[in-house]
Structure 1
Amino acid sequence: MTLSRTGTDALVMLELGEKLLQRRLGFNLTQAQLANAAGVSKRTLERLEAGESTQLTNFIRVLRALGLAHGLETLIPESTSSPIEQLKLQGKQRRRASSVREPKEPTKPWTWNDKT
């Protein structure tokens, strides 16, 4: 796929739809047959192939019906961390993002208020 970073969302969807269309035709399936196999409506499949907006679940269902779901793992690759980070996080997985903390100013030590 030759989708550039500068391509608009509409262009990306249009190219994905074209690729789905070509794959469906390669399997010699009608829109009705593929829609039925994927569990989506024929109109939803028409929208996907035309590059129109639809739900992500519908796209995934069509990919599964075409035997292309294995390619989803390459969309967002596993994150790689440094060996030091792996040792620190051994047994732990990040669950949320955190902001960079700025160091606190040193505080004065606590003393009794004996000045009465």
Structure 2
Amino acid sequence: MRMGQNSSDEAVLKELGNRLSRYRLNRDLTQEALAEEAGISKRTLIRLEDGEPVQATNLIRVLRAHGLLQNFDALVPEPALSPIQQAKLQGKARKRASSPQEDTEENSSWSWGDDA
């Protein structure tokens, strides 16, 4: 089932639970074994797989146990910087290179009062 903007919260939770349950079954794990691996109670895992609300940390633990946490960027991509933010970060960027300045003996040995 594809989730859309108009999907209800309940439908999203139900689909999430179904998918996590299928991942567990594909790994041939019992709910008890996965709950232990994730560091949550079996009852919490049952609620999650049934599409009931659970704490976000419990969901993260189950995703980590399944090896799915790296998919977080697909769920919530890193926001792009606005042009204004990019300009502020760049600050006063150099626009051209300067020519190397030669250090001549004439310039380096000058002192106050020598110009008279």
Q: TM-score range by the shorter chain?
A: 0.7 to 0.9
Which residue in 2 is equivalent to 1:22? 22
Partner of 2:57: 57
For structure 2, which runs of at least 5 residues remain unmatched after alignment? Answer: 92-116
What percentage of residue pairs aligned between the two structures are identical? 53
Counterpart of 1:104? Answer: none
Unpaired runs of at least 5, structure 1 = 92-116
Amino acid at match of 1:73: D
Q: 1:75 offset after TM fit, Å?
A: 1.6
Would you identify which runs of 4 or more consecutive aligned residues in structure 1 move more than 4 Å?
Answer: none
In the TM superposition, residue 87 of structure 1 has moved relative to its aligned partner by 2.4
Aligned match of 1:10:
10
Distance 1:67 1:81 in 2: 29
Q: After TM superposition, give the deviation of residue 29 of structure 1 in Å.
A: 0.3
- Rounded to whole Å, the distance in 2 between the matches of 1:43 and 1:13 is 16
Counterpart of 1:98? none
Distance in 2 separating the partners of 1:27 and 1:51: 20
2:44 matched to which residue of 1?
Answer: 44
Distance in 2 (CA, whole Å) between partners of 1:35 and 1:44 is 8
What is the TM-score when the length of structure 1 is the normalising length?
Answer: 0.72
Greater share of residues in helix: 2
What's the TM-score once normalised by structure 2's chain length? Answer: 0.72
Structure 1 distance, partners of 2:41, 2:85, is: 47
